[in-house]
Structure 1
Amino acid sequence: MSLLQELQERSGNQCELCGAKDGLAIYEVPPISTGGVDGSLLVCTTCKGQIEKPETTDANHWRCLNDSMWSEYRAVKVMAWRMLSRLRAEGWPQDLLEMMYLEEEELQFAKATGEGLEESEKIIHKDCNGNVLQAGDSVVLIKDLKVKGSSMVAKQGTAVRRISLDPENATYIEGKVGAQTIVIITDYVKKMVDKE
C-alpha cells in the first residue's frame, strides 16, 4: 500500500486538519520528517498553503483545530499545536493550547521549527552572506572542510542538498556529503538560489 493510500485510509479520505475532501495531498512534517505515515498527514490545499505561507493565515479557518487537536496521530497533533501556537494572539487558540496534551517527545518535535516563539527567541541560521537558511535548502561549501572523525575532506564548491538545522545552535547545520551526513558550520556555506 502506498503512503497516499495509507493516509487516505487513516483519514477517511479527508484533510486531517480541517476535514475538507477536495485537493488533498501528502504533507511531510518539517523540520526533519521521519516520512512515512508517522511523519506525514493528508491536508487540503487551503491548509497546506497557509502552513507554508504564514502571511496568508486566516485565523477563522483554523477553528477546525478544536477537533483535530485530539487526533491520535502524532503528525496531526504536532501540526495542530504549531498552528495554534502561531495564532495564539487571537485568544481562542491559547485556550485550546492549554487543553492540549502532547507527550514530551511530541512536544519537542512540535517546537523544532520555532513555531510559537517570539521573533527574538527564534534561532535563525544564516549563511556566510547573511541569507536565512531553512530546512530543506541547498548550500555550497565555500572552503575545503576536514570532516571530524574521518580522513574525508569536503571540497570547496561541493553542493549539500536538503540540509537540516540544529534547533539549539544557529551556527550548525547538517547535510549529506557523498554518503556521509556531516555537521557544517554556517560560516562556511553559501545558500544556493533556485533559478526561476
Structure 2
Amino acid sequence: MTCPLCTTLDAPLISTPVPGGPADAAVNICATCADQATAPDHFRALASTMWSEDPALQVLAARTLARLDTDWARDLAEQLYLDDETRAWADNVAAATHHRDANGQPLAHGDTVVLIKDLNVKGAGFTAKRGTAVHRISLVEDNDAHIEGRVEGQRIVILTEFVRKR
C-alpha cells in the first residue's frame, strides 16, 4: 500500500487517529509518518497529498505542515485551503494535546509564548531571559511538558511550566 501522507510505496500502514474531530476519524499512514520525529524532507509529498478529499488526511497534512519548521512547509501551509469545518478541526490542536502553559492555558502549534523565568540553555552557552517571546512554537508530540521554539536563533526544548501563552 501507499502512504497517503508521504506517498511511500509498499510501506505497512498504521491506523492513526486524528483527534479533535469526529471520534472515529483515522488515517492509515506509514510508521515513519506516524512517528512524526522524522526529517522534514520525508514530508515533501505533502505538496500533493494536502489536496486529498479525505478531511482527516487534510487535517493531518495541515497539522504536519504547521509542525515543520522549514520555508517550504510554511509556503505550503499558506497555500492550503480548507473549508471552515475542516479548518476548525485542524486548528483544534488543543483538543488533540494536553500541552498547557504555567497558567493552565492550552498551547497549540504556532502559538507565541513568553518565558516566565531565566533559563540556562544547555549546550548553547546562553541564558534565555525572562520576558523573551518565543514565536511559532511546536509541541513535542510524545511529551506534554515540552515545547520547541527558537530563542536567539537556536531551536530549543522548553518546559511548559516556564512559559505563559501570549
TM range (shorter): 0.5 to 0.7
Q: CA RMSD in A?
A: 2.7
Larger radius of gyration: 1
2:5 to 6, 11, 17: 17
Q: Aligned residues, how many?
A: 106
Residue 99 of structure 1 aligns with which residue?
79
1:62 to 38, 43, 50: 43
- Given that residues 32 and 38 in structure 2 are in contact (C-alpha distance below 8 angstroms), is that contact kept between their aligned partners in structure 1? no
SS in 2 for 1:81: helix
- Given that residues 78 and 106 in structure 1 are in contact (C-alpha distance below 8 angstroms), is that contact kept between their aligned partners in structure 2? yes
How far residue 41 of structure 1 moved from its aligned partner, in angstroms, is 1.0
Q: Which structure shows the bigger proportion of residues in strand conformation?
A: 2
AA aligned to 1:71 is S
Summarize deviations over 1:163-187 as a string: whole Å, max 9, x none: xxxxxxxxxxxxxxxxxxxxxxxxx
Q: TM-score, normalised to structure 1's length?
A: 0.48
Of all paired residues, the percent bearing the same amino acid is 32
- Given that residues 21 and 89 in structure 2 are in contact (C-alpha distance below 8 angstroms), is that contact kept between their aligned partners in structure 1? no
Which stretch has the larger CA shift, 59-68 or 14-23?
14-23
The reply on whether 1:110 has 2:90 as its aligned counterpart is: yes
1:48 to 29, 34, 39: 34
The reply on whether 1:76 has 2:69 as its aligned counterpart is: no
Gaps of 5+ in 1: 1-12, 51-55, 123-131, 134-196
Gaps of 5+ in 2: 95-107, 114-135, 138-143, 146-166
How far residue 68 of structure 1 moved from its aligned partner, in angstroms, is 0.5
How far residue 67 of structure 1 moved from its aligned partner, in angstroms, is 1.0
How far residue 93 of structure 1 moved from its aligned partner, in angstroms, is 1.0
| CA distance in 2: counterparts of 1:119 and 1:94, whole angstroms | 16
SS in 1 for 2:81: coil
